[in-house]
Amino acid sequence: MRLTGVGLMSSNKNDGSDIGPGSGHGSALAQLLESLTLEPLEDNLFRGPRSREGWQRVYGGLVLGQAVSAAALTVGSDRAIHSLHGYFLLAGDPDRDIVYEVERIRDGGSFTTRRVRGLQHGRAIFAMSASFHKDEDGYEHQSAMPDVPGPEDLPSAKSLMSGMLAHLPDNMRAYWDREHPLDIRIVDASRYTSRRPRPAAQAIWLRANGPLPDQPAVHRAVLAYASDFTLLDTALVAHGKLLFDRDIQLASLDHAMWFHRPFRTDGWLLYAQDSPSAYGARGYCRGSVFDLQGRLVASTVQEGLMRKRDTAFVLK
């Protein structure tokens, strides 16, 4: 059985429901949406399909997206997730499904609170608290959107990287050579050709690589998935290092996210990131997500392991 609340299934033919493994919209996005469509096992218990992204461990954004989906399936449609705070406890096994256990902490008049645990091999690999809010009017203000080139003025990440192959590590070339569920446009790619240290900040445009269903919960789950992409990597900018360098051990430790305004993840979103601090083998990073109209739609914070390692002990 597949739930229709969060996933591919919909009655609106313009909502992306024609996306599938054999469709013209690309199988990577179809696989992501299928991964975010959870199977109910029992009350408050759901199964998330295993990772098919080719990593040695489960990508943290996939766990975030599935956990958001699991929590949303226990909450009424009259309220949406507005914040989450998660901890990555163990590296996920990409050859195993993840079981999500949702605890119903509180159902209030305006707010709903859930606690989610992601389980593999009988152990918790991820723990998250999430809060949902019923829409209401209030005061409004926001920070200004950075002045950067628009997405249509920038090459796709794949075409950009194809021109830099001689400068990239083998594992990075292999990563960018395959299909991805997200269309990424890098605002300043000079860090990939010049390893000089610079201010710890970067920005990317991103959107789903095809249309998504007209279900707000799907768009939030996909943005949660995308929010782990490049965020911790921002801390490396200050040191002239890259995510794929073999002398770096990089892993997300915790992740917090706030959803401020309605948005669509199949429309362009600017993800502006900076890293105010790195110390004691931990990097601290922040992100702000804006839509094309300049509205701040979400914010992220993450701390991660950023450890130097001796390449003599790196497994080939």
- Known catalytic residues? 228, 252, 302
Q: Report d(CA 303, CA 278) in Å as an integer.
A: 9
CA distances from 133 to 191, 218, 257 (A): 40, 16, 14
* Cβ–Cβ under 8 Å, residues 295 and 239: no
> In the chain, which ranges are continuous DSSP H helix?
27-35, 60-72, 157-162, 170-177, 216-227, 234-237
The two tokens of residue 40 are: 């109910």
Q: Phi and psi dihedrals of 65, rounded to 5?
A: -60, -40
**Strand, helix or coil for residue 102:** strand
Angle at 289 between CA 187 and CA 254, to 5 degrees: 105
Distances, alpha carbon 110 to alpha carbons 82, 135, 208, 255, in Å: 12, 8, 31, 24
Cβ atoms of residues 129 and 70 within 8 Å? no
**Residue in the structure block whose two tokens are 């990409």:** 94
Rounded-to-integer distance, Cα 197 and Cα 264, Å:
35
In the 8-state DSSP scheme, what is residue 205? E
Distance CA 134, CA 108 (A): 10
CA-closest candidate to residue 270, choices 155, 185, 156: 185
